[in-house]
Amino acid sequence: MEIYNYIKSLHLIFVVTWFAGLFYVPRLFIYHIEASQKPSPDKEILTSQLKLMTKRLWYIITWPSAILCTLFAIWLLWLMPAWLEQPWMHVKLGFVVLLIFYHLKCHQIFKQLQRDEVKYTSQFMRIWNEVATLVLFAVTFLVILKNAFNWIYGVIGIFVLAILLMLGIRLYKRIRDKNPNA
């Protein structure tokens, strides 16, 4: 089973790069949305650059990482089919499905912004950006703790984390409203 460790390593590398893309692309969406509200010529210059940056991140890092992460995950499950009998794996796969939906929604937003269709506020995007963080926390704890995972504390912990993230976003908004250069 020496190949298992190589496949697991590759899976983890692509998990990291996939999440890097999912963490940064909404940040670029925020900048794009805010740039679209600037006067000319700043608006055109910034949105053009942000479109290019987002396109490169999305198609060169995020999509390939998502695909490779998924392929290596399937390979790991093929090598270790007993994992599919574990309750923690069912929950983890549920979070993975949620992450895939998040990724696809980000793709939809990406396409809209590439066409200069701004349908969301930068404040919404700041909140949206935290979905991937919550999934990462949940999946990491599930994988590390497996059967020792206490569901009550886990659910409470995810909600507390979500509340803390929302409070952080609100605090940042207040700071920005007082000092627009922050």
Cβ atoms 50, 31 nearer than 8 A? yes
Place of tokens 């991140």: 57
Name which of 101, 134, 128, 131 is nearest 113 in CA terms.
128
141 is written with which tokens? 């704890």
Gyration radius from the chain CA atoms: 19
**Cα distance between residue 155 and residue 152, in whole Å:** 5
- Sign of CA pseudo-dihedral 57, 58, 64, 68: positive
CB-facing half-sphere around the CA of 135: CA atoms within 13 A: 23
According to the annotation, is 92 in a ligand binding site?
Answer: yes
- Phi/psi at 165 (nearest 5 deg)? -65, -45
- The binding site for heme comprises 11, 92
Annotated binding site: 11, 92
